[in-house]
Amino acid sequence: MLEIIPIGGYGEVGRNCTAVKHGDDIILLDMGYHVPRYIECTEEEGETLRKVTVKALREAEAIPDDRILGDLRHDVKAIVLSHAHLDHIGAVPYLANRYRCPIVATPYCCAVLERILRDEKIKLHNQIVRLNVNSAIRFGGMKIEFINTVHSTPQTAMIAVHTDDGVILYTNDFKFDNFPTLGKRTNYDALRRLKGKIKALIGDALYAGTEQKTPSESVVREMLKDLEFDVAEKQGIVATTFSSHIARLKSLMKFGFDLGRRVVFLGRSLFRYCVAAQEIGLVDFREVKIVRYADKIKKEIKRIGKKKEKYFLVVTGNQGEPKSVLRRMAEDKLKYGFSDEDCIIFSCRTIPTELNRKQRKELENELKLKGIQYFKDVHVSGHGAKEDLRELLTMTVPELVLPSHADKENSKALSELCDEVGIKSRIVQNGEWIKI
């Protein structure tokens, strides 16, 4: 018998964690935290991990409450991570030591996790196992297959859990980008081979209610190329994006060089993700100066502020986080000296939570007061929308779909799409126990 235990990430966006049980064997899929709740709980930017207890994080619903497993945690054979985003790996430093099993992830995800652990001086007893996309590993009666897909961080995998009783396909997070700017497109052949074998598909429903196919990352590359004409004569040019979006950072690096400027990345999380990518040979950032520590960032910004026209800066703070580099620049806590001769490129979207909307509005108000021109939404999502999901469902034809990684509205939208294509679905909540 196959059983699925939603631990986190159902009816909400974040703290993703799902247990799959077959016989006496259990696999945990992802172990993330809920980013806004984590920030509220720690008053940090999602970069510092040691200042709060597991108990406090559980009470704040910032990490998965894996106590639902009880003594079954001793049957967990592996913690399997789909990709390097904190809402999928952020709880590993807090919870992994409860399990006597390895952690399995793609090389980039492992590199990011190891850097987090090293930076925060956290020791895990778990072995960290690298598994390339389009490869498989076996634990007891389960075979774990990593199917390459495209997302807003490198080496993202759909996870197929193969058992004698059928397959569970875990698709958090994905989009069908046929022209990715880093890595290969989704392995459609591997997905087609699963048709007729999938007992349950756990689906990324974040944009299930958005009636489109998510555009390719190559679109943003063209958007940036178009922006060159608008910003070339500006004094200071500053961009911000998600620190883990290595493909986007690669495009921004090229954008800065095409403008004939020196490129500088500022922020601890940018350092973490870029160095991890450099270490495994994904992208060469050696021509970029990456500044990590707060005191050095302060000095660098003051120095650059005297000759802005020579530099292109990429900084943390795309959501307006109070302690981020961009927010402190806007509030003159970092002495860049913003003026109406400068511009800012937001190569991101505002994540739709109350806290993020509030913080971004506060940041934009600061920029307006200074008369700074800014370009919003130079961005495409890393998540599939309705037509990506339709293609996934018709390609794989699962017996059952469980919407995840979404609020109630978008979970319902995926359920309605399942009705359209004639596939059963079930909206579940954290803590339910589903027997297949």
Q: What is the pLDDT of residue 357?
A: 86
CATH 1.20.120.610 fits 2-213+382-435, yes or no: no
Helices (H), 203-260: 217-231, 246-258
Q: What is the pLDDT of residue 71?
A: 93
Q: What's the rounded mean pLDDT across residues 70-88?
A: 96
Contacts 24+ apart (CB under 8 A), 134-138: 134/187, 134/190, 136/162, 137/104
Q: What is the pLDDT of residue 43?
A: 65
* Count of Cβ atoms closer than 10 Å to residue 431 Cβ: 12
Q: How far apart are CA 350 and CA 356, in angstroms?
A: 7
Q: How far apart are CA 303 and CA 113, in angstroms?
A: 33
Q: What is the pLDDT of residue 351?
A: 78
Mean pLDDT of the chain: 94
47, pLDDT greater than 70: no
CATH architecture group of domain 217-375: 3-Layer(aba) Sandwich (3.40)
pLDDT tens, residue by residue, 170-198 = 998 999 999 999 999 999 999 999 999 99
Q: What is the pLDDT of residue 50?
A: 54
49, pLDDT greater than 60: no
Q: Report which of 217, 206, 224, 128 is spatially closest to residue 181, judged by C-alpha positions.
A: 217
Task: Name the one residue in this structure whose structure tokens are 């297959």.
Answer: 145
121, pLDDT greater than 60: yes
pLDDT tens, residue by residue, 21-34 = 999 999 999 999 99
Confidence band for 36, pLDDT divided at 50, 70 and 90: confident
Share above pLDDT 70 across residues of the chain, in percent, rounded to a whole number: 97
Distance from the Cα of residue 216 to its chain's centroid? 17
- What is the three-class DSSP state of 423? coil
Q: What is the pLDDT of residue 322?
A: 86
Q: What is the pLDDT of residue 8?
A: 95
Structure tokens at 192: 């087609």
pLDDT tens, residue by residue, 295-348 = 999 999 999 999 999 999 999 999 988 889 999 999 999 999 999 999 999 999
| Paired residues of 167 in beta bridges | 162, 198
Confidence band for 350, pLDDT divided at 50, 70 and 90: confident
Q: With contact defined as beta carbons under 8 Å apart, do 3 and 72 qualify? A: no
Q: What is the pLDDT of residue 268?
A: 92
Q: What's the rounded mean pLDDT across residues 240-245?
A: 96
- Cα within 13 Å of Cα(28), Cβ side: 35
Q: How far apart are CA 31 and CA 312, in angstroms?
A: 36
Share above pLDDT 90 across residues of the chain, in percent, rounded to a whole number: 87
Q: With contact defined as beta carbons under 8 Å apart, do 246 and 282 qualify? A: yes
Q: What is the pLDDT of residue 40?
A: 79
Q: With contact defined as beta carbons under 8 Å apart, do 430 and 65 qualify? A: yes
Structure tokens at 304: 């650059």
pLDDT tens, residue by residue, 356-388 = 788 999 999 989 999 999 999 999 999 999 999
Confidence band for 1, pLDDT divided at 50, 70 and 90: confident
70, pLDDT greater than 60: yes
Q: What's the rounded mean pLDDT across residues 146-162?
A: 98
Q: How far apart are CA 62 and CA 12, in angstroms?
A: 11
User: Is the model's pTM score more than 0.95?
Assistant: no
Confidence band for 44, pLDDT divided at 50, 70 and 90: low
Where in the chain do CATH 3.60.15.10 domains reside? 2-213+382-435
46, pLDDT greater than 50: no
Q: With contact defined as beta carbons under 8 Å apart, do 72 and 96 qualify? A: no
Q: For residues 315-324, b (16+ Cβ closer than 10 Å) or e, as one string?
A: bbbbbbbebb
**97 vs 37, higher pLDDT:** 97
Q: With contact defined as beta carbons under 8 Å apart, do 187 and 149 qualify? A: yes
Least confident of 117-131, 227-241, 316-330, 351-365: 351-365
